[in-house]
Amino acid sequence: MLALRSVLFNIVWVFNLIFQMVIQTPFYFFMSFEGAEEVPKRWARSSYWLQRWMVGTKMEILGRENIPVSGQGALIAAKHQCNWDFYAINEMLPSSAFVLKEQLMKLPFFGWYVAKLRHIPIRREDKGKAMRRMLKIAAERVEEGRQILIFPEGSRMAAGAPPNYRYGITRMYLDLNTPVVPVALNSGLYWPRHSFKRYPGTLRCAFLEPIQPGLDSETFAAELERRIEEGCEDLYLMATRDEHVPPMSAEVKAGVERARLREKARLETTGEGASA
């Protein structure tokens, strides 16, 4: 039954994307920038409804107080485990700009949509030159009061996989001199990488306390990785206490145990776990 629901959801999810792009394309390019921003957000909200109705996957957003308000520029550094992250985090932010491969800008429909929303293309082959160009555009977007969404590892990683954070986010932190909001999630438990299956349960996304400007590169990089990785492990632990517990790899289970130990230490420090 799970396999059938998953297949049906994947088909309807893609059809919903194509349908919305086709019916809105004639109007999209005549919309204001603000109106155009709402188009992918409406698709995201319809996708939330589909995943809950067809698969039984609910969604919970934690740390809403850490989400930048409208007009507040910031860097959003998020874990990336599945396709859900891309459109869902965009829907949660007031006005986001993605850092994405320049090749995607050349795709029919998708590239046209992205160009109107003034995202940030990067040509990885150019290395240093590409980084300077990206930083220039990113600085302009922050000045406009937009939130720059970047996945520090560069691509999707399976839940529990060893972290592989790249230098790009550190360079942006140093050059843009703006707060960085780490984002942890457990989406990979419910939308596993390289699998068509979609599991029921509560998919969680946590906006963590911002890292303020002023740290050196090594301190920032270590702190960002620690916060995101521990945040994800905390969400894996929460998933074990839900009504529907998704399958977990050995790496995820190890993360759950680390989170359990941190939780126990916190409770003992506050006195709440003294009797445990």
pLDDT tens string 194-242: 899 999 999 999 999 999 999 999 999 999 999 999 999 999 999 999 9
Distances (CA, A) of 109 to 74, 88, 116, 121, 225: 28, 20, 11, 16, 35
**What integer pLDDT is reported at residue 218 of this predicted model?**
97
- Supply the pLDDT for residue 110: 76
| DSSP letter assigned to residue 247 | P
Q: In the predicted model, what is the mean pLDDT of the chain? A: 92
The confidence score (pLDDT) of residue 125 equals: 64
DSSP per residue, 122-166: E-GGGTHHHHHHHHHHHHHHHHTT-EEEE-TTSS---TTPPP---
- Among 139, 59, 115, smallest CA distance to 91 is for 59
CATH architecture of 59-270: 3-Layer(aba) Sandwich (3.40)
Residue pair 165/223 in contact by the 8 Å Cβ criterion: no
pLDDT at 62 over 70: yes
**pLDDT value at residue 113:** 80
Model confidence at 275: pLDDT above 50: no
The reported pTM is: 0.92
Cα torsion angle, 120, 125, 126, 131, sign? positive
Residue 273: pLDDT band (50, 70, 90) is: low
**Residue written as tokens 């050059």?**
175
Position 159 scores a pLDDT of 95
pLDDT of residue 24: 82
* The pLDDT of residue 276 is above 50: no
* pLDDT top residue among 25 and 85: 85
Res. 103 pLDDT band, cuts 50 70 90: confident
The edge-to-edge listing of strands for the beta sheet with 201-207 is: 57-62, 201-207, 180-185, 74-78, 147-150, 96-101, 120-122
Percent of the chain with pLDDT over 70: 97
